[in-house]
Amino acid sequence: MDGDTVAREMRRALGPDGVRLFRVSEFLTPQQISSYFSRRAAKNRHQLPNDADIKASEEEDNFTRARETVMAISLQHPITLDQFDICAMAKDGSLERVRLSMLQNICQKLELEVPPKPICRKKIYLKKL
């Protein structure tokens, strides 16, 4: 924000109880506000980061990367594979009538965590889906 905007907002600022936050004697001019933040920015530029600053910066980077990763995942509904609508089949119970080999194939193509050695029980694969 620029100094003019902050000065205007300062004059209009109300607390949760509807009472003004600043008295008239506490109002700052746009120049005072700009100078304050200019000095503060210069001071911050000249300070060496401490361990807490470094950790906070790393944590913010990790959070940003995690958020970007999550935002990149785009799940589509319904989940379809070849001509099968997996969501509809799970809902109406027809997924239980699919052959075991097909269930294994669906799980592998959807990159679900399945046992490395195929197990001859539908229940495990149905649970994953």
Q: How far is CA 25 from CA 11, 22, 28, in A?
A: 11, 8, 9
Q: Do residues 33 and 7 lie in contact, with contact meaning Cβ atoms separated by under 8 Å?
A: yes
Residues 108 and 54 in one domain: no
Residues 47 and 68 in one domain: yes
How confident is the model at residue 84, as a pLDDT?
A: 78
Mean pLDDT of the 11-31 span: 92
How confident is the model at residue 75, as a pLDDT?
A: 61
Residues 98 and 118 in one domain: yes
Quick one: which of 93, 89, 67, 69 has its CA closest to 79?
89
Q: Do residues 125 and 116 lie in contact, with contact meaning Cβ atoms separated by under 8 Å?
A: no
How confident is the model at residue 76, as a pLDDT?
A: 65
Query: How many separate domains does the chain show?
Result: 2
Domain boundary among 33, 54, 72: 72
Residues 89 and 34 in one domain: no
Residues 8 and 65 in one domain: yes
Given a cut of 90, is residue 118 above it in pLDDT? Answer: no
Residues 112 and 88 in one domain: yes
Residues 43 and 94 in one domain: no
Q: Does the predicted model carry a pTM greater than 0.85?
A: no
Residues of the domain holding 115: 80-128
Residue 81 main-chain phi, psi, to 5 deg: -145, 120
Mean pLDDT (the chain) is 83
In percent, the amount of the chain with pLDDT more than 70 equals 92
Residues 20 and 62 in one domain: yes
Q: What does the pLDDT look like over 37-93, one tens digit per residue?
A: 899 888 877 776 777 778 888 899 888 888 887 777 666 667 777 777 888 888 888
Quick one: which of 88, 84, 75, 2 has its CA closest to 37?
2
CA distance 30 to 11: 12
